[in-house]
């Protein structure tokens, strides 16, 4: 199975309002809820691609219960979340009906105690024994040490499971130094890590900091991958419109499934770009449209070259 770690799981709530105006009162016309957090989104897409995915991280309180109930309805995803005393955070996306624009409110997440963190580390080690690959995803809840991902990368390396790290800021900086197999920063995250706004230069710099392969997500410009096996650029010929929520998580699922299936890099990148675009095009935020995906995957242009053996 593929293991995804989401330390700061979330109950993702979407509100529709006519038009959000600060300091006014709004009647919400529609409410939807789904289990969220990057690693949960990655697992959902992995399961849709036919992989068995196990999710771990933390869940607690009434919101944690709602996350677990939602997870239990997704076939192919196994819930190995660790219970905590605090409450799983909510994220609220307020969608303006007039413009389609979204305002986001993200709770910080529960305070994790040292005992809960230690219980998670035990669970993580147990799960690693079965894992063909690991994705470490998203922000850290309060109480989790900022170097957490570095430790989780090192533990995974002792079992031989390849590790993809998808986070930002200081947790990314520290995690990269522990030598993960893949990181998938977007341009902002890459610039924050390296200080450079030039994607190629920043990607190369991120590799020097410890990442074995760097797959930079350039938004509508596709993916730029710099790896020991070669360097590629993958793009769609046409611009895709829609809701970008979850597009990065679908890209991670594409990279990870391709790695486990031992696909060559160009095929992994094509799958990632197509999954990402099929997520942007899907009517429900964070889901991917399978028909779109099948249509798009053959149309991704991958340029670049393998490193001379």
How far apart are alpha carbons 11 and 160 in whole angstroms?
A: 32
Instruction: Decide the pairing of beta strands 10-17 and 30-36.
Output: antiparallel
Min dist CB 65 to a copy of itself, Å, is: 6
Instruction: Decide the pairing of beta strands 163-166 and 182-183.
Output: parallel
Contacts 24+ apart (CB under 8 A), 242-245: 242/280, 242/281, 242/282, 243/102, 243/280, 243/282, 243/285, 244/219, 244/279, 244/280, 245/93, 245/102, 245/279, 245/285, 245/286
Min dist CB 14 to a copy of itself, Å, is: 12
Active-site annotation holder among 79, 249, 267, 289: 249
Contacts 24+ apart (CB under 8 A), 184-187: 184/215, 184/216, 184/217, 184/248, 184/251, 184/252, 184/255, 185/214, 185/216, 185/217, 186/216, 186/217, 186/218, 186/219, 186/248, 187/216, 187/217, 187/218, 187/219
Q: In the complex, which residues of this chain contact a copy of itself (CB under 8 A)?
A: 15, 17, 20-29, 31, 62-63, 65-66, 92, 94, 96, 101-108
Contacts of 298 (CB under 8 A, 6+ apart): none
Pick between residue 68 and residue 212 the one whose CB is nearest to a copy of itself: 68
How far apart are alpha carbons 35 and 65 in whole angstroms?
A: 10
Pick between residue 108 and residue 114 the one whose CB is nearest to a copy of itself: 108
> 123 in the Ramachandran plot: left (φ > 0), alpha (ψ -120 to 50) or beta?
alpha
Min dist CB 55 to a copy of itself, Å, is: 19
Pick between residue 111 and residue 295 the one whose CB is nearest to a copy of itself: 111
How far apart are alpha carbons 1 and 78 in whole angstroms?
A: 10
The residue whose two tokens read 């920043």 is 202
Pick between residue 26 and residue 197 the one whose CB is nearest to a copy of itself: 26
Which secondary structure element, helix H or strand E, spans residue 290, and what is its range? helix 290-297
Min dist CB 29 to a copy of itself, Å, is: 7
Min dist CB 110 to a copy of itself, Å, is: 10
Pick between residue 26 and residue 201 the one whose CB is nearest to a copy of itself: 26
Residue 198 known to be catalytic: no
Min dist CB 12 to a copy of itself, Å, is: 13
How far apart are alpha carbons 217 and 112 in whole angstroms?
A: 31
Pick between residue 23 and residue 239 the one whose CB is nearest to a copy of itself: 23
Return the active site residues. 249
């Amino acid at each position: 199975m593929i293991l995804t770690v989401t330390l700061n799981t979330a109950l993702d709530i979407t509100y529709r309002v006519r038009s959000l105006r600060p300091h006014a009162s709004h009647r919400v016309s529609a409410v939807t809820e789904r289990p969220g957090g990057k690693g949960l989104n990655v697992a959902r897409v992995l399961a849709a691609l036919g992989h068995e995915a196990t999710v771990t991280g933390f869940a607690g309180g009434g919101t944690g219960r709602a996350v677990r109930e939602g997870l239990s309805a997704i076939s192919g995803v196994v819930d190995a979340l660790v219970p905590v005393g605090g409450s799983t955070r909510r994220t609220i996306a307020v969608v303006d009906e007039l413009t389609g624009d979204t305002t986001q409110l993200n709770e910080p997440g529960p305070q994790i105690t040292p005992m809960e963190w230690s219980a998670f580390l035990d669970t993580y080690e147990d799960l690693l024994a079965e894992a063909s690959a690991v994705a470490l995803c998203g922000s850290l809840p309060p109480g989790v040490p900022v170097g957490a991902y570095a430790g989780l990368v090192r533990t995974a390396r002792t079992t031989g499971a390849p590790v993809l790290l998808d986070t930002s800021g200081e947790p990314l900086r520290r995690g990269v130094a522990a030598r993960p197999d893949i990181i998938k920063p977007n341009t902002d995250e890459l610039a924050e890590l390296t200080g450079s706004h030039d994607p190629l230069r920043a990607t190369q710099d991120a590799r020097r900091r410890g990442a074995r392969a760097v797959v930079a997500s350039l938004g509508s410009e596709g993916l730029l991958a710099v790896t020991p096996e070669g360097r590629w650029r993958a793009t769609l010929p046409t611009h895709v419109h829609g809701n970008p929520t979850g597009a990065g998580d679908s890209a991670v699922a594409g990279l990870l499934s391709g790695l486990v299936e031992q696909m060559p890099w160009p095929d992994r990148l094509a799958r990632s770009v197509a999954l990402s675009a099929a997520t942007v095009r899907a009517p429900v935020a964070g889901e991917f449209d399978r028909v779109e995906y099948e249509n798009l995957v053959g149309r991704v242009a991958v340029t670049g070259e393998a490193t001379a053996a």
